[in-house]
Structure formats: C-alpha cells, structure tokens
Amino acid sequence: MKGAAIPSLRVIRISVSAAVLIALGLVLYAVLGGQSEESTRIASVHNLQQWGIALNLYLIENDNQLPEVGKTPVTMAQAKAWFNALPPYLSEKPLAEIPPGERPRPGVPSLWIRPGTKPVKIWDPAAFFFTNGMNRNLQPVEGTRSFRINEINFPASVVFLAPVDGYTPDAGPENVVFPKSKTSAVQILFCDGHVQRVLPAKLLDPAALSASAAEKEVSWFQK
C-alpha cells in the first residue's frame, strides 16, 4: 500500500502565499477598518504567524540552523540574516532587495510593520525600519553561526521575534517595545513558530536571561 504523497516545497510556498494575502487583509482591516484593540491584536498575531511559517520552512531547508540576526546597514551580503532569508518563504522579497520608496514604513500595512504602528509625517524613503527584531542571543557572537533548533531544549519558550521600534534588526529585553500599561501583554514569536502574548514582567525578569529558564518560563536563552 502506497503512502500519501508528501507535498513539494513549491506547493507549500503557494499555500503560504495565500495565507500571506489573508494576513495582509487582516492587517489592512486593523489599520483602515475597525481600529479596535481586538482587531489590531488579531492582525498582529496573524502577522507573526506568517514569520513563524517562514522560520519553520527555513529550518527544514537549512539543517535546523536558525537564521542569523543581521545588522545594519541592510545589504544582500547578509543573505542568512532573518530579514533577507525568511521573506522568500512567504513569496516576499528579501528586505535588502526592496527599493527605496517601497520599504517598510510605519503606518503602511505589511508583514514588516506591526499592526497599529502610527504613521509618521516625515519619512526617509531609503530607510529600513524594524518593528520586530530577532533575539540576538540566538547568535551570541557576530560572525559565528547561530544556534540549531535542536540545540535549544525548549524552543517553545525561547523568544525568536519581539517588538522593537528602531533601525536595528535585533531584540533583547532592553529594547523591546511595551504597551504603556505594564499589565498589557505583547505578542511574541517563539522559536517553535507559535505566537503567544507575554507580560512585560516575564520578558524583563532577570531569570529570563538564563538558558535554563526555557524549561518553564520565557527565555532569551542567554548563557
């Protein structure tokens, strides 16, 4: 008896493209439509879920190796940086290949921009702006390889992407953007690809800087 056919990566990517369109529709609704806190939250979750899909496809094709954190200036010389390596799995251009004038901009719905991000009046069309950053502890030393997913004992507890507000593609507890209310949770993408709301207190807990914290709590996986 023959087993079920395994879908090709090409078919998976086509399906992902449809998912991206749905997610962008939700983002557009959050920004131009309801503007409610709940619609923005839902759009944010779907946005991060797309990055989670891209991450898992990347791991399959790269021997479980996580992408690199990357740095500025953004160039295609950093082909393994998350902002260049992951977008093609969502039928998107690597960030470095997006021309000036089309680059991610606050207030303009895209996979790159967190829903609810306020537009700005003055903007440099050549700028690269990050509203999410990759956990820098997943590539502890620049120029060396990042972790493999199987080297992380509890990937479901280790931060992969966290909200930031600036021009650098990395994230750590000191540059995560939190709501004004300390009781409001933020959306985090974890290394296993799932999205979860996390309270600021957990992300800022000194214990979160320990690799062992991944066993039970949120961890930045710092050794």
User: What pLDDT sits at residue 18?
Assistant: 56
Q: Report how far apart, in Å, the C-alpha atoms of 69 and of each of 81, 114, 160, 169, 200 are.
A: 5, 19, 10, 7, 22
Residue 116's pLDDT is: 86
What does the pLDDT average to over 10-29? 52
Measured CA to CA in angstroms, residue 2 lies from 5, 6, 27, 160, 213 at distances of 9, 12, 42, 38, 44
Confidence of residue 11 (pLDDT cuts 50, 70, 90): very low
CB 177 within 8 A of CB 165: yes
Grouping H, G, I as helix, E, B as strand and the rest as coil, residue 130 is strand
Residue 23 has pLDDT above 90, yes or no: no
Contact 104, 112 (CB under 8 A): yes
Q: Residue 95 pLDDT > 60, yes or no?
A: yes
pTM: 0.83
Quick: pLDDT tens for 150-163. Answer: 999 999 999 999 99
Question: Would you say residue 12 has pLDDT above 90?
Answer: no
Domain locations in the chain as residue ranges: 9-215
**Over residues 186-212, mean pLDDT:** 95
Residue-wise pLDDT for 102-139, tens only, equals 999 999 989 999 988 999 999 999 999 999 999 999 99
- The distance of Cα 128 from the centroid of its chain, to the nearest Å, equals 15
- Segment 140-197, tens digit of pLDDT: 998 899 999 999 999 999 999 999 998 999 999 999 998 877 678 999 999 999 999 9
Q: Convert the pLDDT of each residue in 62-78 to its tens digit.
A: 999 999 999 999 999 99
